[in-house]
A and B are shown apart, each in its own frame.
Chain A
Amino acid sequence: MNEFSYIYLIPLIPILTFLFLGFTAKKIKEPVSGYIGTASLAAVFALSVYTAYKYFFEVGMVNGKYEPVLVMIKKGWVNFTDKLAIDLGILLDPISAMMLIVVSTISLMVHIYSLGYMHSDTGFSRFYAYLSLFTFSMLGLVLSSNLFLIYIFWELVGVSSFLLIGFYFEKPSAVAASKKAFIVTRFADMFFLIGILMVGYFGQSFDFETLNSESTIHMITGWIANHQIFSFMGLSIFTWALILIYIGGMGKSAMFPLHIWLPDAMEGPTPVSALIHAATMVVAGVYLVARLFPLFYHIDNGAALGVVAVVGAFSALFAAIIAFTQEDIKRVLAFSTMSQIGYMMMALGVSGYEGHEGLGYMAGMFHLFTHAMFKALLFLTAGAIIHAVHSNFMKDMGGLHKYMPISRWVFLIAALAISGIPPFAGFFSKDEILTAAFEYNKFIWFIGFLVAGMTAFYMFRLYFRIFHNKDTDYGDHKPHEAPFTMAFALVFLGIMTIIAGFIPFSELVSADRMPFHSEIHWTSPLVIGSILIAASGIGIAYLMYYKETDYPQKFASGMGAGYKWAKNKFYMDELYIFVTHKIIFDKISKPIAWFDRNVIDGFMNLLGVTTEKAAEKIKFIQTGRMQDYAMYFVSGVIAIVMLIVYFRN
Chain B
Amino acid sequence: MDLDNFMLMRDEILLTVIILMMLVAEVLLSQKNKKYVIQLGLVLFAGYTFQSFIPNETGELFGGSYKTYPLVHLFKAILAFGVMMILLQSVTWIKEKLLPYDFAAEFFILIFSSLIGLNFMVSAGDFLMFYLGLELSTMPIIALTAFEFWNHRSVEAGVKYIMLASVSSAILLFGVSLVYATAGSIQFDVITGAMHLPLLEIIGLIMIFIGVGFKISLVPFHFWAADVYEGAPTVISNYLSVISKGGAVYVLMTLLFIVFKAFQTEWNWIMYGISILTMLIGNLFALRQQNMKRFLAFSSVAQAGFILLAMLSNNELGVKAIIYFLLIYIFSNVAAFGVVQVISLKTGKENIDDYTGLYRTNPKLSLVLMIALFSLAGIPPVAGFFAKFFLYAAAASKGYYLLIFIAVLNVTISLYYYLLPVRAAFLRTSENPIPYFKSDIYSKMAFVIAMVGLLVLGLYSGVFEYISGMSNIL
A and B: partners? yes
Q: List residues of chain A with CB under 8 Å of any chain B CB.
A: 607-608, 611-612, 614-616, 618-619, 621-622, 624, 626, 628-630, 632-637, 640-641, 643-645, 647-648
Select one of A611, A626, A635, A637 contacting B206, CB under 8 A: A637
Select one of B199, B226, B281, B412 contacting A645, CB under 8 A: B199
Report A-chain residues with C-beta under 8 Å of the C-beta of B224. 629
Asked if B69 is an interface residue, CB under 8 A from chain A, the answer is no
Question: Cα distance A615–B210 when bound, in Å?
Answer: 25
Could you say which of A615, A628, A632 has the most chain B C-beta atoms within 10 Å of its C-beta? Answer: A615
Asked whether, in the complex, the Cβ of B287 is within 8 Å of the Cβ of A615, the reply is yes
Asked whether, in the complex, the Cβ of B416 is within 8 Å of the Cβ of A619, the reply is no
Question: Cα distance A630–B210 when bound, in Å?
Answer: 13
Select one of A608, A626, A628, A636 contacting B210, CB under 8 A: A636
Asked whether, in the complex, the Cβ of B287 is within 8 Å of the Cβ of A611, the reply is yes
Nearest residue (CB) in B for A636 is: B220
Nearest residue (CB) in A for B412 is: A607
Asked if B221 is an interface residue, CB under 8 A from chain A, the answer is yes
Report A-chain residues with C-beta under 8 Å of the C-beta of B164. 626, 629-630, 633
Asked whether, in the complex, the Cβ of A611 is within 8 Å of the Cβ of B413, the reply is yes
Asked whether, in the complex, the Cβ of B288 is within 8 Å of the Cβ of A615, the reply is yes
Name B376-433 residues within 8 Å CB distance of A.
Answer: 412-413, 416
Having A611-B416, A626-B159, A648-B199, one finds 9 other A-B pairs with CB under 8 Å, namely: A614-B284, A618-B284, A622-B285, A629-B223, A630-B164, A633-B220, A637-B206, A643-B270, A644-B270
Given A612-B287, A619-B288, A630-B167, residue A641 in contact with residue B203 (CB < 8 A): yes
Asked if B202 is an interface residue, CB under 8 A from chain A, the answer is yes
A interface SS class: helix
Binary CB contact string for chain B from 327 to 360 against chain A (1 if under 8 A, 0 otherwise):
0000000000000000000000000000000000
Asked if B57 is an interface residue, CB under 8 A from chain A, the answer is no
Report B-chain residues with C-beta under 8 Å of the C-beta of A643. 270
Least CB distance from B416 to A in Å reads 7
Report A-chain residues with C-beta under 8 Å of the C-beta of B283. 611
Asked whether, in the complex, the Cβ of B171 is within 8 Å of the Cβ of A619, the reply is no
Nearest residue (CB) in A for B286 is: A615
Select one of A618, A632, A648 contacting B266, CB under 8 A: A648
Least CB distance from A617 to B in Å reads 9
Question: Cα distance A643–B163 when bound, in Å?
Answer: 27
Name B177-231 residues within 8 Å CB distance of A.
Answer: 199, 202-203, 206-207, 210, 214, 220-221, 223-224, 226-227
Interface residues on chain B, number (Cβ under 8 Å): 32
Given A626-B160, A644-B270, residue A615 in contact with residue B284 (CB < 8 A): yes
Asked if B466 is an interface residue, CB under 8 A from chain A, the answer is no
Asked whether, in the complex, the Cβ of A626 is within 8 Å of the Cβ of B163, the reply is yes
Asked whether, in the complex, the Cβ of B210 is within 8 Å of the Cβ of A637, the reply is yes
Report A-chain residues with C-beta under 8 Å of the C-beta of B214. 633
Asked whether, in the complex, the Cβ of A644 is within 8 Å of the Cβ of B266, the reply is yes
Report B-chain residues with C-beta under 8 Å of the C-beta of A647. 266, 269
Least CB distance from B301 to A in Å reads 11
Question: Cα distance A152–B285 when bound, in Å?
Answer: 45
Name B267-289 residues within 8 Å CB distance of A.
Answer: 269-270, 281, 283-285, 287-288
Nearest residue (CB) in A for B159 is: A626
Asked if B138 is an interface residue, CB under 8 A from chain A, the answer is no
Question: Cα distance A612–B206 when bound, in Å?
Answer: 33
Report B-chain residues with C-beta under 8 Å of the C-beta of A628. 223
7 tightest A-B CB contacts, nearest first? A629-B223, A636-B220, A615-B284, A615-B287, A626-B160, A632-B220, A615-B288
Asked whether, in the complex, the Cβ of B220 is within 8 Å of the Cβ of A616, the reply is no
Question: Cα distance A313–B214 when bound, in Å?
Answer: 76
Q: List 22 A-B contacts (CB under 8 A).
A: A611-B416, A615-B284, A615-B288, A616-B288, A618-B284, A621-B223, A628-B223, A629-B164, A629-B223, A629-B224, A630-B164, A630-B167, A632-B223, A633-B168, A634-B171, A636-B210, A636-B220, A640-B206, A641-B203, A645-B199, A645-B202, A648-B202
Question: Cα distance A366–B88 when bound, in Å?
Answer: 65
Report B-chain residues with C-beta under 8 Å of the C-beta of A608. 416
Question: Cα distance A370–B119 when bound, in Å?
Answer: 72
Nearest residue (CB) in B for A630 is: B167
Select one of B199, B207, B285, B287 contacting A637, CB under 8 A: B207
Least CB distance from A475 to B in Å reads 52
Report B-chain residues with C-beta under 8 Å of the C-beta of A624. 227
Question: Cα distance A635–B283 when bound, in Å?
Answer: 22
Least CB distance from B164 to A in Å reads 6
Report B-chain residues with C-beta under 8 Å of the C-beta of A645. 199, 202
Asked whether, in the complex, the Cβ of A636 is within 8 Å of the Cβ of B285, the reply is no
Least CB distance from B204 to A in Å reads 10
Report A-chain residues with C-beta under 8 Å of the C-beta of B285. 615, 618-619, 622
Least CB distance from B217 to A in Å reads 11
Report B-chain residues with C-beta under 8 Å of the C-beta of A626. 159-160, 163-164
Select one of A614, A633, A641 contacting B221, CB under 8 A: A633
Question: Cα distance A608–B283 when bound, in Å?
Answer: 12
Report B-chain residues with C-beta under 8 Å of the C-beta of A641. 203, 206
Report A-chain residues with C-beta under 8 Å of the C-beta of B227. 624
Question: Cα distance A618–B283 when bound, in Å?
Answer: 12
Least CB distance from A600 to B in Å reads 13
Least CB distance from A86 to B in Å reads 15
Least CB distance from B226 to A in Å reads 6
Nearest residue (CB) in B for A617 is: B284
Least CB distance from B315 to A in Å reads 22
Least CB distance from A605 to B in Å reads 12
Report A-chain residues with C-beta under 8 Å of the C-beta of B199. 645, 648
Nearest residue (CB) in A for B298 is: A622
Nearest residue (CB) in A for B218 is: A636
Least CB distance from A76 to B in Å reads 13
Select one of A614, A615, A635 contacting B220, CB under 8 A: A635
Binary CB contact string for chain B from 280 to 309 against chain A (1 if under 8 A, 0 otherwise):
010111011000000000000000000000
Least CB distance from A609 to B in Å reads 12
Nearest residue (CB) in A for B197 is: A648
Question: Cα distance A17–B266 when bound, in Å?
Answer: 61
Nearest residue (CB) in A for B270 is: A640
Question: Cα distance A611–B280 when bound, in Å?
Answer: 10
Select one of B167, B202, B284 contacting A644, CB under 8 A: B202
Least CB distance from B411 to A in Å reads 13
Question: Cα distance A629–B163 when bound, in Å?
Answer: 10
Least CB distance from B290 to A in Å reads 12
Question: Cα distance A641–B175 when bound, in Å?
Answer: 12
Report A-chain residues with C-beta under 8 Å of the C-beta of B160. 626, 629
Nearest residue (CB) in A for B287 is: A615
Report A-chain residues with C-beta under 8 Å of the C-beta of B168. 633
Least CB distance from B209 to A in Å reads 8
Asked whether, in the complex, the Cβ of A622 is within 8 Å of the Cβ of B266, the reply is no
Report B-chain residues with C-beta under 8 Å of the C-beta of A633. 164, 167-168, 214, 220-221, 223
Question: Cα distance A40–B224 when bound, in Å?
Answer: 63
Least CB distance from B166 to A in Å reads 10
Question: Cα distance A526–B2 when bound, in Å?
Answer: 97
Asked whether, in the complex, the Cβ of B171 is within 8 Å of the Cβ of A637, the reply is yes
Question: Cα distance A636–B219 when bound, in Å?
Answer: 9
Question: Cα distance A616–B220 when bound, in Å?
Answer: 18
Report B-chain residues with C-beta under 8 Å of the C-beta of A648. 199, 202, 266
Asked whether, in the complex, the Cβ of B167 is within 8 Å of the Cβ of A634, the reply is yes
Least CB distance from B414 to A in Å reads 11
Least CB distance from A242 to B in Å reads 34
Least CB distance from B207 to A in Å reads 7
Nearest residue (CB) in A for B263 is: A644
Least CB distance from B304 to A in Å reads 15
Report B-chain residues with C-beta under 8 Å of the C-beta of A618. 281, 284-285
